Structure 1
Amino acid sequence: MEHMEWQGLLARSRHGEPQIVDAPERPAFLVDLDRVIFSQPFRRLANKTQVHPLYENDHLHHRMIHSLETSSVGRSLGVNVGQALAARGILPEGAGHDLSYILQAACAAHDIGNPPFGHAGEDAISEWFATKRPFGEDLSDGQRREFEHFEGNAQGFRILTRMEMYRLEGGMRLTHAVLGAFTKYPCLAKDGALGRDAPTIGLKKYGAFEAEAAHLAEMAESTGLIPLEAGWRRHPLAFLVEAADNICYNILDLEDAYTTGVLSHGEVRPLLEALIGKEVAPVPGGTPAEHVGHLRARAVHGAIRASVAAFLDHHDEILAGRFSTELTDVFALKEAFAAISDVANDRIFPSSRKIELEVAGRDLIFALLDRFHAVIEGLADHGWDAAAMAEKKPYLRKLVTSAGMDLRDVCDPYSGLHALTDFVSGMTDRYAVKMARPLGL
């Protein structure tokens, strides 16, 4: 029976670098965290929507705050799981530090490929391509699925392995362990279920574009993931990245809902206390907002402990590739988490302000794709020669120059459309609004 081994799963080898450098004062996995945190795509997350649209309120979560909080939870999960596995003799002493750095880096990067306007942005990009079907039959079915089912996870993998830092030469050159933990869906678009029943959780969506297929295979082989007929079984630490994300957005969305007035203190309090396991009285003299913050902190702690226990309980199944659900669906607090999800679906996600701005975001993305797709069509009309297009189409040259659109390496419809989605998905909410103003939106 195939079984993943921790020695391979914690591979320090770097994508795009043959030599392993792991200095005691700056471990390889900590270098990965630094590379993510100091990158421009991470910086742009400060102006991208999390769940609640970006209000004129400094206390709401945007993607960067969410990513930093998720990385903090991931670090705690890693320390606790690593220490427990070391105590069982499964990992060497001190492995908790390795797991904490790996998870902290992977969690920091987990939303780095998300477009503006949250998941509504993914839906808008997908809808535009499904409606417009640019370049007709010039794309394979698998390539077309990448655009008609646009996936921020795959865009993130593209940024990490191709686009940022060492462009086309390994990207950020992260360790294979961190790339494995980052990749929740280790398969290509042609293999992902995309809404259909998936044979395993790692095939529910997809985690890499065809353009990065070799990078995905290198990561999987370097870490010893179990191969499937299409794709691979998940890296075990991807379950903990997913748990950290679930903990943060479920619990912190409640706090934001209270801050925006969508939910009252009386509605939020019992939901958080269910995660804590008891009633928690307000601090004397404290405000309701301070009480919600206190409850949130203790609820996160409770969810971390429950996630660690669930991972350890299912450890052998996970390494054998037989575990195929989210940890938060099986941990001790699953009923309390389900109650929060029900409230989110009934009250938070349908809030009028959120829906209003999602509609506006969809219209903005459609307009931007319409406008900048003209550049890709212009390149096609001139044999994919950017210089020839610039000479004969001065408007398109000015459009590319003013927007800073990157057309390097565009040589056919597939690479051209990825240049288009790289550009639009990389925008912040604010920049997308700015670029759309000349269009009258």
Structure 2
Amino acid sequence: MNVELGLGYGAQALASYAEQPTKSRGRLFQEPESPTRTPFQRDRDRIIHSSAFRRLKHKTQVFVYHEGDHFRTRLTHTIEVSQIARSLARALRVDEDLAECLALAHDLGHTPFGHEGEDVMHVCMEPYGGFDHNAQSLRVVTSLEQRYAEFDGLNLSWETLEGLVKHNGPLLDASGRPLGKFKDSELPFAIREYASRQDLLLHTWPSLEAQAAAIADDIAYDAHDLDDGMRAGLFAIEDMKDVPFLADILADVDSKYPGLEESRRIHEIVRRSITRMVEDVITEAMKRLSDVQPETVEDVRAAGRCLVDFSSETSASEREVKKFLFARVYRHEDVLAVRRLVADVVRDLFARFMKEPELMPAPWDKDLAGLDETGLARRVCDYIAGMTDRYAIEEHRRLFDDTPDLS
């Protein structure tokens, strides 16, 4: 029986500057094409079925898993990012499946306990090249997921890997020197290792699909941390009047719905924040595309700047929202108290496994004799980074008598 390609291909009228699924550069390990799915739809499905994706359910966004069922986890955050990324991609007429795929994969490398876990892991790994969750996401999908008979990793398409690695922009300048947060050091090990196997054009901008996923992450983060922060009682709705962008939204909600009950009032503020940011990005992206007039995705890569971003006005407003969240949520004493406890968990686990690596369960305890100190540190890092919050607590309780009580 012949299967029509139309099930996966051609459902969306793509702009010429979009990634074209029929022109994918392929996979590191050659595989037959699917007759019913585009390469990007296939990548998305592989990510969703991965172990690392399932573990996001029990990884911290801001609040540790025990603090309530209504707060975001890495998984719910990831789903929310993917929804916004698809909306942006649809408006810009680029490939929705690829944008969704990149959104779903963007946090696969996160440690347990959110950014606190990442910060501690970076300190632990500093003598061995440091830790970066974006690079770890690449390591997950190219090496650590071991499900398929013919290769390690998920064997994702070139376009997905490129977008995953550099969704925030180029990592190298034209002469090969690191950029951004890596400019005074070197690229993370996972990126350097994979770049030696497949050229991901680290000196160029990524596709519009990757840029859409990146800005979707910012939008989701801001809006939903506001939501969780208010519902957790870390600040009051009225406190948002200190931020003009939020004050304007609050005034609009209260004018239209006077006396609205608190939970609905919070939701109206959050949804309108998302809408305003998304609409601003679409408008600004259309302006930049009109200025650059790219004909192909290669023109997007060579544009020399981000094309999917906030306007300068909304960018300033978004920075104010982040500043507010930093003061009222991320640096709130209740949050910091838990962060200090979970930092000790990650730090203790790393030190113990470096000293006694045979305490790691199979398959992490395999072939330890062949590892030098850097190789061992990377093995320990991979193991801990893949843990959920609660599994990290369980491992700490197995090995130590003084595991912090997070209840």
Which TM-score band applies after superposition, normalised by the shorter structure? 0.7 to 0.9
Q: Does 1:297 align with 2:271?
A: yes
The equivalent of 2:96 in structure 1 is 100
User: Residue 57 of structure 2 contacts residue 74 of structure 2 at CA under 8 Å; is this kept in 1?
Assistant: yes
8 A contact 1:314–1:323 mirrored in 2: no
Partner of 1:439: 400
TM-score by length of 2: 0.79
Deviation at 1:319, TM superposition (A): 3.6
**Structure 1 residue 181: deviation in Å?**
2.0
CA shift digits 1:195-244 (9 cap, x unpaired): 4768xxxx997594433233452xx2xxxx4x64xxx4434433222100
Match of 1:384 in 2: none
The offset of 1:14, in angstroms, is 3.7
Residues 1:48 and 2:29 are matched in the alignment: no
Structure 1 unaligned residues grouped into runs of 5+? 83-95, 134-143, 377-395
Q: Is this contact kept in 1: 2:96–2:209, CA < 8 A?
A: no
Which digits, 9 at most, give the CA deviation of each residue in 1:103-131, with x for residues without a partner?
1011011000010111111211122234x
CA distance in 2, matches of 1:214, 1:427: 28
Q: Which residue does the alignment assign to 2:381?
A: 421
Q: 1:7: Cα distance to partner?
A: 5.6
Identify the match of residue 122 of structure 2 among 102, 126, 129. 126
Change beyond 3 A, Cα 1:31–1:286: farther
Shift of 1:253: 0.7
Could you give the per-residue CA deviations for residues 300-358 of structure 1, whole angstroms, max 9, x where no partner exists?
12211211222232233854241159823x45522321221121122111111211111
CA–CA distance in 1 between the matches of 2:38 and 2:285? 25
Q: Distance in 2 between matches of 1:302 and 1:204?
A: 37
Relative to 1, partners in 2 of residues 1:242 and 1:215: Cα closer, same or farther, differing over 3 Å? farther
SS in 2 for 1:279: helix
Among 229, 233, 242, the alignment partner of 1:261 is 233
Counterpart contact for 1:275–1:336, Cα < 8 Å? no
Find the partner of 1:173 among 138, 142, 155. Answer: 155
The equivalent residue for 1:68 is 79
**Matched residue count:** 369
Give how far 1:17 is off.
3.5
Corresponding residue for residue 31 of structure 1: 42
Counterparts of residues 13-412 of structure 1 (less than 5 Å): 13-19=25-31, 21-23=33-35, 25-82=36-93, 96=94, 99-130=95-126, 133=127, 144-145=128-129, 147=130, 150-164=131-145, 165-166=147-148, 169=151, 171-184=153-166, 187=171, 192-193=178-179, 195=181, 208-217=190-199, 220=200, 225=201, 228=203, 232-268=204-240, 273=246, 279-281=252-254, 283=257, 286-315=260-289, 316=292, 318-323=300-305, 327-328=309-310, 330-376=311-357, 396=358, 399-401=359-361, 405=364, 407=366, 411-412=370-371
Conserved in 2, the CA contact under 8 Å of 1:409 and 1:415?
Answer: no
2:9 is matched with none
Q: Which amino acid aligns with 1:323?
A: R
- In the alignment, structure 2 segments of 5+ residues that lack a partner are 1-15, 295-299
Give the alignment's Cα RMSD to 1 decimal: 3.3
CA distance in 1, matches of 2:229, 2:22: 38
**278 and 311 in structure 1: CA distance in 2 versus 1, 3 angstrom threshold:** farther
